[in-house]
Structure 1
Amino acid sequence: MLPSTGQHRPVANARLLAAQQLQPCLSIPHTPQRLRCKAVLKASHRPCSQPAAAQLPQPCLAAAAPQRPQRLQRSVAARAAAADMGGSHSIDLSSSWSMPRRLQQLLKPSKYDAELLHLAVPALAAMMLEPLMNVLSAAFMGHLGTKQLGAVSLASLATSLATYVFSFLVFLTTPRVAAAHANGDSKTVNRLAAVGLWLALGTGLLVAVSLSFSAEAIVHALNPPEPEVSAYAVQYITVRSWGILAAMLGFVASGTYRGVKDTRTPLNAAIGAALTHITLTPLFILGFDWGVAGAALAATISQWVSCVMLLSLMFKRQLLHAADLLQPPRWHEVSPYLWKGAVLALRMVVTFGMVMFASAICVRAGAASQAAFEIIRQVWIISITFFESLNVATQAMAAGFLGRHDRTSAREVLQRALHLSCFAGLILGLLLFAWRGPLVGLFTKDAAVALLGGAVMPVIALCMPIDAGASIMDGGLIAAGQTNALSVVQVAGSLVQYAVLAVLVSRGYDSVAYVWGVLKVLSLARLSGGYWLHFVSGGSAYLHRGGVSSPQQQQQQ
């Protein structure tokens, strides 16, 4: 017998492997299945042949499959369950610890990406217009004089707080309208829009009248340094307060459009308001010489232009009927808004107060610290707008799926938005860190302010992915109608911030870096609290194990 060579070893190994795989099949009585298996075994004699599993009948494959150890089977089952919890983004067992493979999966397009971007991009453009208009007003005020600019800045605190507190109208309208729209219930969509507008009209009139007639008392409480600043601030609040009613009506209209997955109409209204603002501001301030009152009037008229555009298009698109609007809401229709709105308003007052408290600490630390704090705040506001637009898209899509009781799709949308936002936050954070010097230089030429701002910018850059993820977690709670849980998380985080800042200041740690570091505690609380409520808690609206499954059920409760 000739000695075996390496050339024949693959053949022998192939035949041995085939025999092992086909042994269960060969024990079957004479059937066509057994004849086929014998043919495969015979083919394994050839040097170029290897027994392919695909050639075996299905029963043979089941019998020939190697048995996994029990521990491995449990591990596979656990990972399969985790993949089910994660929706379409399943876990690849062969590369679950491979970071490049994970990154590849993240960059791979999802079936939800197109709709997310379709909703987020117009929302982003609309959100960016308002801060740009504020910059324009500030520029004109600066040309009038320092006192006028200081008066507008001071008076804007009161009007901005009043508007910000009642922004809960858009949060409460969006998920309800989205749930009704997803089920094709246009009648409920019309009624929800009408009820929201009635509520906005009542609260808006109350706030506008209160601010207008108490402008002097409000300015006195703010304690401006000079009498002329006080006079200008009173003028601004008196005129600007009547734009708050338009803002509240616009909140309900925007929430309705978001609920039906339309973010382009609010963008068109924002463009109309911006064009009005750009035209009237120089005309009233410089042409008619109306000064601070002219600036307030231009801003108020631009808000009403946006409001009228939104409401008129709601009638045109059959999102609002005159019959529903003429029928006053009943108590059971308004009470969910009042209860949840009060909780959300408390949350907004607490978080707004936290920012004011932090700003006051920087004021006591010196003018350079206050200027650096304001620069970082403006950079942060502009940066977070990118993620807030994705938040809007998440609210509309997730609320629609939850309205159809499709928790799996809602969870997949939420997870995809979370992954995209955190990845975008990482990229944006790296850019902020790399360009921190030139970026701060755009706002100031003061060396001390630039030094402080450049020292704090890495804190903002490092926490940008946390801010991005926190925004999406907020959107998930709003989409599910769990706004009370959202308020609890944010109020608790703000109280922790108050306590930590008070302790640090008492010990002399009042620098801008410490203040901004503590402010990021709230972002971490929003991210971690939201993640637990969405993906761990038994009361989650996104898991198949209890909880509230749709915003409609939330409203009934």
Structure 2
Amino acid sequence: MRQIAGLALPALVVLAAEPLYVLVDTAVVGHLGSVPLAALAVGGTVLTLVAWLGTILAYGTTGRAARRFGAGDRAAAVAEGVQASWLALGVGVLVAVGAQVLAEPLARMLAGGESATWQDAASWLRVAALGAPGLMLSVAGNGWLRGIQDTRRPLSYVVAAFALSAVLCPILVYPAGFGLIGSAIANATAQTLAGLLFVRALLAERVDLRPHPAVMTEQLVVGRDLLLRGLAFQACFLSATAVAARFGTATLAAHQIALQLWFFTALILDAVAIAAQSLIGAELGAGRAAEARWLAKRITVIGAVSGLFFALVIGVGARWVPGWFSSDPAVHAKALVAWPWFVAMQPLAGIVFALDGVLIGAGDVRYMRNLTLVATLCGFLPAVWLAYGLNLGLGGIWAGLSLFILIRLVALLARLRSGKWAVVGAQLSRAHATS
């Protein structure tokens, strides 16, 4: 329990860093007026997507590095980090260069016809995207350092970068007179600092820093499966929002409240999953399948208990929490329709997120990809559009989300019980990779 907490708690701080960047920028830029704030929302959406893509790379790297670390080969574990960092740097440079060309059409598409908004958003994105190489190096660094069960350095690097951004942003926006662009400069500077700190961590390991395309190709295969899984998630959330919008403004606002709280609890529960990735990968890499299965059951219980705790807190707060986000009685009434589903999902989601971490750590990502696609195409999407067709409102939407979680829960528990995921060795066999 102490080992899991020792990995999960620092991971939670690191996971919270990117939302905190956005919150600080929002608080500072919000006082410039509605147009700069809207521009920040547009540009921030694009960079949030980049960060999400980087997180997928980090998750795949953690499992691969953890197996080698568990097998007693720390150098090979760090070597996974070297190759992931080359990939991350390449993607980051592409984003930084691409943003200089694509910022305007992207901003125009997201902002609609508001010319002042998309023009400011494009200017912000061009500058902020210069920090993309640092951002991608950071997420890759988080991946391999978690794999060798080092959470102290990622925590210190991310906190240092966030502190720099929090100090620079208000100074550059107001006294220095850069306005909205000051926020982008602060963001890019902080992300670059974080990336350099993770590069320094690699250099300190004194391993071969040359790129190896074969290893990077293997990492891309893992990343591909996790990407497809992530796209299925995005399809669910975008469809839920689209259907909620068709039920009216109050329903959409209430859905936004519940959904953002759902993302917040998922962020916290995901810290347990990150600890699971590192510990399970290490156990299997060391050839200890029985210990990995025992640890997986323990992590499942921790996920369930964490979910029950959130269910209790959210259930008790039903009367007050919606009022923190809106003073409209109609929105409160609609939020209370979603609330029972939101509460009931928490214990199930706690188990699902924990088992996600177990299977990612085991490298069983193809099974996870297929399961998520099935749960999306055969569960959530038919349910949510049926809710629209039958005019079931917000309750129908959240029933669909609950079905999505339930399908995944049943299949993940079946996979856990089968033991097929617990393949030992420093590397995954081809048979397991295609199972």
The equivalent residue for 1:526 is: 408
The equivalent residue for 2:183 is: 295
Aligned-partner Cα distance in 1 for 2:412–2:386: 27
Instruction: After superposition, give the CA deviation of every residue in 1:464-518 in whole Å (9 maximum; x if it has no partner).
Output: 0111111011111111111111111112222232222222223333x33322221
Shift of 1:225: 4.2
The equivalent residue for 2:26 is: 138
Kindly indicate whether the alpha-carbon contact (under 8 Å) linking 2:71 and 2:426 is maintained by their aligned counterparts in 1: no
State the secondary structure of the residue aligned to 2:412.
Answer: helix
Shift of 1:440: 1.7
The equivalent residue for 1:445 is: 327
Aligned-partner Cα distance in 1 for 2:398–2:113: 27
Structure 1 position 508 matched with structure 2 position 383? no
State the secondary structure of the residue aligned to 1:117.
Answer: helix
Change (3 A) 1:118 1:197: same
The equivalent residue for 1:369 is: 251
Aligned-partner Cα distance in 2 for 1:299–1:139: 14
Shift of 1:536: 2.4
Structure 1 position 549 matched with structure 2 position 417? no
Shift of 1:455: 3.0
Aligned-partner Cα distance in 2 for 1:474–1:405: 21
Structure 1 position 231 matched with structure 2 position 119? yes
Kindly indicate whether the alpha-carbon contact (under 8 Å) linking 1:399 and 1:550 is maintained by their aligned counterparts in 2: no
The within-5 A match list for 1:57-206 is 113-206=1-94
Shift of 1:202: 1.7
State the secondary structure of the residue aligned to 1:383.
Answer: helix
Alignment match of 2:155 (pick from 260, 267, 272): 267
Aligned-partner Cα distance in 2 for 1:339–1:389: 24
Structure 1 position 346 matched with structure 2 position 191? no
Q: Which shifted more, 194-203 or 394-403? A: 194-203
Instruction: After superposition, give the CA deviation of every residue in 1:66-109 in whole Å (9 maximum; x if it has no partner).
Output: xxxxxxxxxxxxxxxxxxxxxxxxxxxxxxxxxxxxxxxxxxxx
Aligned-partner Cα distance in 1 for 2:429–2:40: 41
Aligned-partner Cα distance in 2 for 1:491–1:211: 30
The within-5 A match list for 1:218-257 is 218-257=106-145
Kindly indicate whether the alpha-carbon contact (under 8 Å) linking 2:7 and 2:275 is maintained by their aligned counterparts in 1: yes
The equivalent residue for 1:455 is: 337
Aligned-partner Cα distance in 1 for 2:395–2:121: 31
Change (3 A) 1:340 1:517: same
The equivalent residue for 2:203 is: 315
Change (3 A) 1:441 1:477: same
Aligned residue type for 2:395: A
Structure 1 position 387 matched with structure 2 position 275? no
Shift of 1:373: 1.9
State the secondary structure of the residue aligned to 2:267.
Answer: helix
Shift of 1:526: 2.6
Shift of 1:223: 4.7
Change (3 A) 1:230 1:528: same
Kindly indicate whether the alpha-carbon contact (under 8 Å) linking 2:35 and 2:116 is maintained by their aligned counterparts in 1: yes
Structure 1 position 498 matched with structure 2 position 381? yes
Change (3 A) 1:214 1:446: same
Kindly indicate whether the alpha-carbon contact (under 8 Å) linking 1:362 and 1:512 is maintained by their aligned counterparts in 2: yes
Aligned residue type for 2:126: T
Kindly indicate whether the alpha-carbon contact (under 8 Å) linking 1:336 and 1:555 is maintained by their aligned counterparts in 2: no
Change (3 A) 1:271 1:555: farther
The equivalent residue for 1:418 is: 300
Change (3 A) 1:500 1:177: same
Change (3 A) 1:498 1:200: same
More helix as a share of residues: 2
The equivalent residue for 1:29 is: none
Shift of 1:555: 6.8
Q: Which shifted more, 175-184 or 357-366? A: 357-366
Shift of 1:271: 1.0
Kindly indicate whether the alpha-carbon contact (under 8 Å) linking 1:375 and 1:453 is maintained by their aligned counterparts in 2: yes
The equivalent residue for 1:32 is: none
Aligned residues: 431
Higher Rg of the two aligned structures: 1
Shift of 1:368: 2.3
CA RMSD in angstroms comes to: 2.0
Change (3 A) 1:480 1:251: same
Aligned residue type for 2:24: L
Q: Which shifted more, 221-230 or 461-470? A: 221-230
Aligned-partner Cα distance in 1 for 2:86–2:102: 24
Kindly indicate whether the alpha-carbon contact (under 8 Å) linking 2:68 and 2:74 is maintained by their aligned counterparts in 1: yes
Change (3 A) 1:448 1:158: same
Shift of 1:551: 5.8
Aligned residue type for 1:173: T
Aligned residue type for 2:41: S
Change (3 A) 1:516 1:147: farther
Runs of 5+ consecutive residues of structure 2 not aligned to the other structure: none
Kindly indicate whether the alpha-carbon contact (under 8 Å) linking 1:123 and 1:264 is maintained by their aligned counterparts in 2: no
Instruction: After superposition, give the CA deviation of every residue in 1:136-175 in whole Å (9 maximum; x if it has no partner).
Output: 2222232122222222222322222233134221122112
The equivalent residue for 1:396 is: 278
Change (3 A) 1:369 1:524: same
Identity of counterpart residues, as a percentage?
25
Aligned-partner Cα distance in 1 for 2:257–2:38: 16
State the secondary structure of the residue aligned to 1:442.
Answer: helix
Aligned residue type for 2:424: S
Kindly indicate whether the alpha-carbon contact (under 8 Å) linking 1:479 and 1:551 is maintained by their aligned counterparts in 2: no
Change (3 A) 1:287 1:362: farther
Aligned-partner Cα distance in 1 for 2:203–2:286: 26
Change (3 A) 1:250 1:172: same
Shift of 1:385: 2.4
Kindly indicate whether the alpha-carbon contact (under 8 Å) linking 1:174 and 1:479 is maintained by their aligned counterparts in 2: yes
Kindly indicate whether the alpha-carbon contact (under 8 Å) linking 2:68 and 2:426 is maintained by their aligned counterparts in 1: no
Instruction: After superposition, give the CA deviation of every residue in 1:103-127 in whole Å (9 maximum; x if it has no partner).
Output: xxxxxxxxxx111111111112222
Shift of 1:361: 2.4
The equivalent residue for 1:482 is: 364
What TM-score, normalized by structure 1, do the two folds share?
0.73
Q: With a CA cutoff of 8 Å and minimum separation of 6, indicate the structure with the bigger relative contact order.
A: 2
Aligned-partner Cα distance in 2 for 1:154–1:358: 20
Shift of 1:264: 1.9
Kindly indicate whether the alpha-carbon contact (under 8 Å) linking 2:172 and 2:183 is maintained by their aligned counterparts in 1: yes
Aligned-partner Cα distance in 1 for 2:104–2:83: 34
